[in-house]
Amino acid sequence: MQRSYEVMFIMRPDLTEEDSDKLISTLQTHATNAGAQIQNVEKMGKRRLAYDVRKFGEGTYVLLTLLADGKAIHELERRMRVAEQVIKFITVRTDEEQQRLDKVRKLRESRAKRPPAEAAAPTETENPAVSA
């Protein structure tokens, strides 16, 4: 069953533009060969890292949005793990978040359809009179 994933990875900052494009296309090819469907590739540019990773203080961020099964994601992660150009990566399944948001939206809609409860009159203890 194919699910929606976002894969963000950080490439070494010393890669040339054509080397980084070659790495991205190689990873895309491996993902599609494993059965994934690439929806979007976003190069986010070079950014400073919060802490040094493999002795690099900055890196080039890339975000892949794709539909894939677990086998394809496992293969893509394996390829990134052994690639020297990739210094860090994370894979997030985004369909769970969408399901959670849909559930919350339905709950809010059902609550909005219910008639409002009558407000109870305040009692003496809840709203004490101020004496002068």
Residue 82 maps to which CATH number? Answer: 3.30.70.60
Backbone φ and ψ of 62, nearest 5°: -135, 135
CB 47 within 8 A of CB 59: yes
Tell me, yes or no, whether 129 lies in a domain.
Answer: no
Distance of CA 96 to the CA centre of its chain: 11
Residue 64: exposure state from Cβ atoms within 10 A (0-12, 13-18, ≥19): buried
Residue type (1 letter), 24: I
Residues of the chain scoring pLDDT < 70: 116-132
pLDDT for position 84: 95
Range of the domain at 34: 3-88
pLDDT at 106: 85
The string of DSSP letters for 30-65 reads: HHHHTT-EEEEEEEEEEEEEEEEETTEEEEEEEEEE
- Residue 131, in any domain of the structure: no
- State how many domains the chain has: 1
Of 2, 26, 18, 4, the closest CA to residue 95 belongs to 4
Q: Is residue 110 part of a domain?
A: no
CA distances, 56 to each of 3, 12, 13, 45, 73 (Å): 33, 7, 8, 15, 26
Q: Which of 6, 23, 34 is nearest to 96 (CA)?
A: 6
Q: Is the whole-model pTM more than 0.85?
A: no
